[in-house]
Amino acid sequence: MSEGTNYTPSQQAVIAQQGNNLLVSASAGSGKTTVLIERIMRKILAGTNIDQLLVVTFTNLAAKHMKQKLESQINKRISQLMTDNPAQTTASPAIRQLRQQLNLLGVANISTLDAFCLRVIQRYYYVIDLDPVFFAY
């Protein structure tokens, strides 16, 4: 787990949950973003590319904030790897994989549910026989 972070038992249970799909619902300021960032980082460190995940938030601001926090955590992990093992070069597999995640962050599915659905409709409009110039309100 992230250094210096004290998780509650409930948060630890969510972080440790091994399923593919998980709903995290809690009040504002309860640490949802921190818990989700930890889960995402664990997936990344286990070899999952960030663009293979779907992370849904309620607001555009929350999605933007989550991407910024992920970028920060990935950069922090790269720095940590290089500090812990000075012989580790930027060409090491672990650092290359983390840098790839930074590149994929811009296309990662981290958004509101309505923004995700709109992207799916825009991409596959022809499957549902929808006019490609439809309007979403």
**What proportions of the chain, in percent to the nearest 5, are helix, strand and coil?**
55, 5, 40
Q: How far is 116 from 56, CA to CA, in rounded Å?
A: 8
Q: How far is 72 from 61, CA to CA, in rounded Å?
A: 16
Tokens 């969510």, residue? 14
Determine if residue 27 is labeled as part of a ligand binding site. Answer: yes
Could you tell me which residues come within 8 angstroms of residue 97 by beta carbon, excluding any fewer than 6 positions away?
Answer: 44, 47
Determine if residue 25 is labeled as part of a ligand binding site. Answer: no
Determine if residue 112 is labeled as part of a ligand binding site. Answer: no
Determine if residue 30 is labeled as part of a ligand binding site. Answer: yes
Please answer whether residues 121 and 130 qualify as being in contact, where contact means their C-beta atoms are separated by less than 8 angstroms: yes
Determine if residue 92 is labeled as part of a ligand binding site. Answer: no
Determine if residue 31 is labeled as part of a ligand binding site. Answer: yes
Determine if residue 32 is labeled as part of a ligand binding site. Answer: yes
Q: How far is 81 from 101, CA to CA, in rounded Å?
A: 15
Determine if residue 48 is labeled as part of a ligand binding site. Answer: no
Q: Annotated binding site: which residue ranges? A: 26-33
Q: Annotated binding site for ATP: which residue ranges? A: 26-33
